[in-house]
Every structure is written in C-alpha cells, then in structure tokens.
Amino acid sequence: MHLTKQAIADLENRYRAHLINSLSGFKSANLVGTQDNNGQTNLAIVSSVFHLGAHPPLVGMIIRPHSVPRHTLENLLATKQYTINHVNKDIYNKAHQTSARYDKDESEFDATGLSTEYLNDFTSPFVKESKLKYALELKEHHHLAINGTELIIGEITDIYLDEACLQEDGFVDIEAIDTVAVSGLDSYHVTERLARLAYAKK
C-alpha cells in the first residue's frame, strides 16, 4: 500500500489523525499535573514528552494549538512549574479519561478518581497513584509556527520513584513499575524488554 502526499491530504480528518499519530510508534504515556494561581488543579494525559538533556536534566513536550482553552499550558505558563507522572497499567483508563474536555473549574483529578499529592512544598500536584513522577520548572516556551503547537521545555528539580526499579548504573526499569506505552491516539500497551546492550563502539 502506498499513500501519496495528496492521498494523505484527501483522507477524512479523524482517519488521518489516527494514521499519522500511529506512525511514530510507541510513545510514553504521562500525566501532566498543574495548578493555577487560585489553587484549581488540572491533569492532562500527554504522549509527546521527550528527553532533551541530562545535565542539566531537561525534558520537552508538545502541547496542541492554543486556539481553544488549554488549561495545562495556561497554568504552567502562569506558575512556571508542573509535574510529569508515568501512567501505569492500574490507572491507564483513568489517565485516558483526562483527555475529555473538562471546564477550567472542573478538576480532572476529581472527575477521574485520581488522587492529588503535594510533595516537598512544590505547588503543582503529583498523581499519588503514579510510581514514577518528577517536578519541573519551566525554562523555555516556543510557539511553533508550522502548525501552531507549543513546545515546552522544563528542568527536572525533584524525582520520586520506587527504589526497586532503580538499578546500580542509574537505569530505571520502567517495566518493573508497570509503566505503559501508547500508540496512536488511544491504544495502550505493556512492554517486554528484549535486552540491554553494551555501549556500541566501532
């Protein structure tokens, strides 16, 4: 099967969204926790989180265009902080539900039954049920003119994880804490590691 540029453009919108979102393969499933300056919490599932650097520890993510209210984006721009929480197989259904369009005065925590957790005076909420989570300070925000999306870059300030998944060399065994992956827009997966390989040399 071969789809040309024109054939892709001619696809029905939802079909095209499913197709193109599937092409990048497995993605991380994360819940982004924020809170506005009035204490209203927000929780959103995001599959676009990516590693940017280890020193300093930087993480990026893409947020959809701000052509409609984006409470996650608005909150983190206002407070300059947010949390990222791994989705595990015990909470993926509730995590997916956060993608529904709730009003700003409705907390996705309350709507989905997930629990807020505040750690070490960090004002943005963590997800208590998540087994790996970290706090971030906003460092850069870029509007991407090509499609109107927003690039967010944060620096990790605190990490919370189950010690059982942390190996001697710093590798985090995310399978040990049942972290799930997502493909496309709505397909959730558990993974099976094939192997850890030695550093490749010529």
Instruction: Give 105-158 pLDDT, tens digit per residue.
Output: 999 999 999 999 999 999 999 999 999 999 999 999 999 999 999 999 999 999
Q: Please give the Cα distance from 154 to 32 (Å, whole number).
A: 12
Helix or strand or coil: residue 46? strand
**Tokens describing residue 147:** 């499609």
**Tokens describing residue 201:** 């040399």
| pLDDT, averaged across the chain | 96
Asked if residue 161 has pLDDT above 80, the reply is: yes
**Tokens describing residue 145:** 């003119």
Sequence length of the chain is 202
**In this predicted structure, what is the pLDDT of residue 28?**
97
Alpha helices in 35-144 (DSSP H): 71-79, 92-97, 108-112
Place of tokens 């996650």: 72
Domains in the chain with CATH codes = 25-189 (2.30.110.10)
Q: Please give the Cα distance from 66 to 70 (Å, whole number).
A: 6
CB atoms within 10 A of CB 51: 10
Q: Range with the lowest mean pLDDT among 66-75, 98-107, 132-141, 163-172?
A: 66-75
User: Residues 138, 154: contact at Cβ < 8 Å?
Assistant: yes
